[in-house]
């Protein structure tokens, strides 16, 4: 733990780790606010946009290349985002905030030479003091969690921390090992779930424009899935070829 603390506050890595901590805070705070204010489907738009930005950062910053299927995926997702944005009739600032913060977070995670668990721990070291201060400041309010929640709800609040940390750890693990041009499209599973929750669980409006827009995304997912399967088959055949001779 001392080694992680020294790294977290070292001159070389502190700016990146602190920036990652701020970005993940912005991302999750925006998401929680959106869910609490009936904008779940807009969060889905944000997380659909995030993989596009992730793939663009992979090409622009890390000089990764795109194959034909990945370019098709980006094109289909881009059409979907234009349709969905037009359907809202306004600039989706919340979606843009979620997308931008998550894509930049993934890029920073890749540039920090620490294991996924250690880097996440380092980020939490930057956040724990402000979090405690905010919790103490908010606890005196009449509508705060500590003032209104019973034992069950307090337990659920505590468990949300674990539910948040596990996917962040898994994302950090993948960000160091999987090309961003592959990692980006795989993140479409998150907004798909958000879309279904907003529609089926929270009864948010689902008009024809949103159906068409999300349809383009699902087609993009099929293209990506087929391409990933084919590349995995070719890689498997190539790795076993020497043993067949």
* Angle, vertex CA 48, rays to CA 82 and CA 120, nearest 5: 145
By C-alpha distance, which of 25, 21, 29 is closest to 126? 21
User: Residue 27 — pLDDT band, cuts 50, 70, 90?
Assistant: very high
User: Once rounded to an integer, what is the mean pLDDT over residues 77-91?
Assistant: 81
Whether pLDDT at 244 is above 60: no
- From the list 32, 43, 47, 38, the residue with the least C-alpha distance to 202 is 38
Judged against a pLDDT cut of 70, whether residue 65 lies above it is answered with yes
Return the higher-pLDDT residue of 232 and 69: 69
Beta carbons within 10 angstroms of residue 198's beta carbon: 24
Cα separation of 69 and 206, whole Å? Answer: 29
**pLDDT value for 191:** 82
Query: What pLDDT was estimated at residue 30?
Result: 93
Instruction: Look up residue 133 and give its two tokens.
Output: 């201060």
Q: For position 26, what pLDDT does the model report? A: 94
Residue 38: which domain range?
2-244
pLDDT at residue 53 is higher than 90: no
More confident residue, 177 or 4: 4
Most confident among 14-23, 59-68, 169-178, 199-208 (mean pLDDT): 14-23
**How confident is the model over 72-81, as a mean pLDDT?**
84
Provide the pLDDT for residue 109. 84
Q: What angle do CA 89, 92, 98 make, to 5 degrees?
A: 160
C-alpha to C-alpha distance for 42 and 32, rounded to whole angstroms: 12
156 burial type by CB count under 10 A (0-12 exposed, 13-18 middle, 19+ buried) = exposed
Report how many domains make up the chain: 1
What share of the chain has pLDDT > 70, as a percent? 95
User: Longest C-alpha distance within the chain, in Å?
Assistant: 75
């Amino acid at each position: 733990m001392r080694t992680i603390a020294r790294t977290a506050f070292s001159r070389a890595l502190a700016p990146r780790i602190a920036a990652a901590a701020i970005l993940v805070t912005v991302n999750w705070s925006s998401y929680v606010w959106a869910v609490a204010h009936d904008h779940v489907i807009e969060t889905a738009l944000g997380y659909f946009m995030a993989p596009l930005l992730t793939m663009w950062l992979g090409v622009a910053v890390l000089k990764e290349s795109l194959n034909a299927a990945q370019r098709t995926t980006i094109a289909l997702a881009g059409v979907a985002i234009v349709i969905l944005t037009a359907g809202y009739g306004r600039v989706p600032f919340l979606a843009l905030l979620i997308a931008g913060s998550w894509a930049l977070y993934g890029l920073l995670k890749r540039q920090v030479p620490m294991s996924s668990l250690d880097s996440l721990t380092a980020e939490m070291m930057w956040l724990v003091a402000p979090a405690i201060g905010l919790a103490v400041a908010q606890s005196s309010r009449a509508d705060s969690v500590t003032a209104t929640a019973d034992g069950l709800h307090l337990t659920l609040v505590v468990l949300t921390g674990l539910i948040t940390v596990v996917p962040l750890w898994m994302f950090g693990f993948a960000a160091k090992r999987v090309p961003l041009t592959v990692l980006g499209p795989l993140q479409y599973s998150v907004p798909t779930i958000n879309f279904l929750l907003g529609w089926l669980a929270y009864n948010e409006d689902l008009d024809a424009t949103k159906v068409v827009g999300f349809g383009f995304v699902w087609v993009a997912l099929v293209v990506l899935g087929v391409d990933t399967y084919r590349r995995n088959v070719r890689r498997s055949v190539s790795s076993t070829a020497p043993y067949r001779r």
